[in-house]
Amino acid sequence: MTETTPPSPQILPQVETTPEIESTSALAPMPVKPRKNILIIIIVVVVIVLLILLAASVKTTTSEPSGSTARTSSTPTPTGVAVSTRALTTFATESAFLKFETTAEGLPKLISGAVLQDPTILPPVLDLPLGF
């Protein structure tokens, strides 16, 4: 028996070619959808931060009494606090006056701070009757 070669088909089978890998040196632009999402997130964060700052400034403004322009000290100004515009008497720098001034200014603290009744020398409390 002789071998016979089959006839060549009319249509040649297509040979699959491997796709070419693109060079990475020139990056193709990102897809539109992910870039859009990141932008939206950034905008939202910025808006939130701005809102927080706005709320804080509004709170600060409403807590101040109307008409006040600056914080004032709650402690009363004692009379006689040296004000640079008040003129001194001629003897205000004399040693006699300075001595009196030092004594007078220290006296209130001395008086209020003095221990008049030492709590460590109170008498012992005793139970006297034996109770038998």
* Residues of this chain that bind other proteins (CB under 8 A): 79-80, 86-92, 96-97, 99-101, 103-105, 107-108, 110-112, 114-118, 120-124, 126-132
User: Of 80, 124, 88, nearest to 105 (Cα)?
Assistant: 80
The minimum distance between CB 76 and other proteins, in angstroms, equals 14
Q: Which is nearer to other proteins, 28 or 96 (CB)?
A: 96
The minimum distance between CB 131 and other proteins, in angstroms, equals 7
DSSP run (H or E) holding 54: helix 32-63
Q: Which is nearer to other proteins, 58 or 100 (CB)?
A: 100
80 — phi, psi (to 5°)? 85, 10
| CA dist 96 → 41, 53, 55 (Å) | 76, 59, 60
Q: Which is nearer to other proteins, 64 or 94 (CB)?
A: 94
